[in-house]
């Protein structure tokens, strides 16, 4: 039976994870650590939104928690990292600009879940 208030990819149930970070890059070792952190985000399906902001769409809160835990397990020893989860509805209300030109927000692609 179809419930009009529930869909598999509901804008209020699906989430975006945003990762904000400022990592030290003074030494070669620090640059390597920062680069490794970014690479782990990319390997986990995140994409760059801005230079130090990465984002990932998650179809459910449970899926978002899995990715948040991965981030926490890969935190560098130094630097500032913020992890924020917002609903797809909230993300869709964001206004984006390139210079003075307004652009549309990215729509998440339909993803298959395999059990």
Residue boundaries of the structural domains of the chain: 8-91
Q: What is the mean pLDDT of residues 82-104?
A: 91
Q: List pLDDT tens digits, range 33-83.
A: 999 999 999 999 999 999 999 999 999 999 999 999 999 999 999 999 999
Give the fold, CATH level 3, of 8-91: Alpha-Beta Plaits (3.30.70)
> How much is the pLDDT for 115?
46
Confidence band for 110, pLDDT divided at 50, 70 and 90 = low
Answer yes or no: is 22 a known binding residue. Answer: yes
- Kindly report the pTM of this predicted structure: 0.79
Dihedral (CA of 45, 93, 20, 73) sign: negative
Q: How many alpha carbons lie under 13 Å from residue 97 in its C-beta half-sphere?
A: 4
């Amino acid at each position: 039976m179809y419930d009009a208030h529930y869909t598999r990819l509901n804008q209020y149930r699906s989430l975006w994870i945003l990762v904000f970070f400022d990592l030290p890059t003074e030494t070669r070792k620090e640059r390597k650590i920062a680069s490794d952190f970014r690479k782990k985000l990319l390997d986990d399906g995140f994409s760059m939104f801005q230079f130090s902001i990465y984002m990932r769409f998650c179809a459910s809160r449970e899926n978002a928690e899995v990715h948040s835990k991965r981030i926490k397990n890969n935190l560098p020893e130094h630097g500032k990292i913020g992890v924020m989860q917002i609903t797809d509805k909230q993300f869709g209300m964001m206004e984006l600009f390139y210079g003075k030109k307004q652009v549309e927000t990215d729509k998440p692609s339909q993803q298959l879940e395999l059990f």
